[in-house]
Amino acid sequence: MKIAIGSDHAGFKLKETVKEFLKTSGIEVIDFGTHSEESADYPDFAFPVAEAVAKKEFDFGILICGTGIGMSITANKVAGIRAALCNDLFTANCSKEHNDANVLCMGGRIVGEGLAKAIVQTWLERKFQGGRHERRVKKIEEYETKAHSN
């Protein structure tokens, strides 16, 4: 499994923690920055990560800012991206099983290291359940296709 990860300054510390956690779990991680706690703009990291995931260069993306909101708003502008803001385990579960999320967003000012690792582990383990959920995800894809052909 190959994961693209990115953060702004507010998510930097948690990104480093998550990156190490993924590496020790044997997962390949490519870090799209930022590389310090110096102020940085979340779209500068969300767009490259989301585009790389949309192009299928990675299996999944993980984006961390202060709340996870800016990252999720930005990533969801990229066609094919289903970015889910999950600062708890229940939404981490549902975002995979129901929404087939391909980008996980978290808030570095919201979740601690232990919870973040549990969210990431759960999110990576869960599988899309298909069925009625597939019909709903397809409607999003159909909208994207129509919107982009206009």
Contact 68, 85 (CB under 8 A): yes
Site stretch for ligand RB5 (CB under 6 A), options 45-53, 65-73, 112-120, 132-140: 65-73
Q: How many CB atoms are located within 10 Å of the residue 81 CB?
A: 21
Site stretch for ligand RB5 (CB under 6 A), options 21-29, 50-58, 63-71, 83-91: 63-71
CA nearest 53: which of 11, 17, 1, 96?
1
Token pair 């759960």 in the structure block, residue: 122
**Between 89-97 and 113-125, two packed helices, what is the crossing angle to 10 degrees?**
20
Q: Exactly one of 35, 86, 94, 98 is catalytic; which is it?
A: 98
What is the token pair recorded at 10?
A: 């507010």
86 is annotated as an active-site residue:
no
Rounded distance between C-alpha atoms, residue 130 and residue 59, angstroms: 18
Q: Which one among 3, 4, 62, 65 touches ligand RB5, defined by CB under 6 A?
A: 65
Residue among 103 and 124 whose Cβ is closer to ligand RB5: 103
Residue among 9 and 133 whose Cβ is closer to ligand RB5: 9
10 binds ligand RB5 (CB under 6 A): yes
Q: Which one among 45, 46, 61, 67 touches ligand RB5, defined by CB under 6 A?
A: 67
105 is annotated as an active-site residue:
no
Contact 84, 72 (CB under 8 A): yes
Q: Mind telling me the catalytic residues?
A: 65, 98
Q: Which residues bind ligand RB5 (CB under 6 A)?
A: 8, 10, 42, 65-67, 69-70
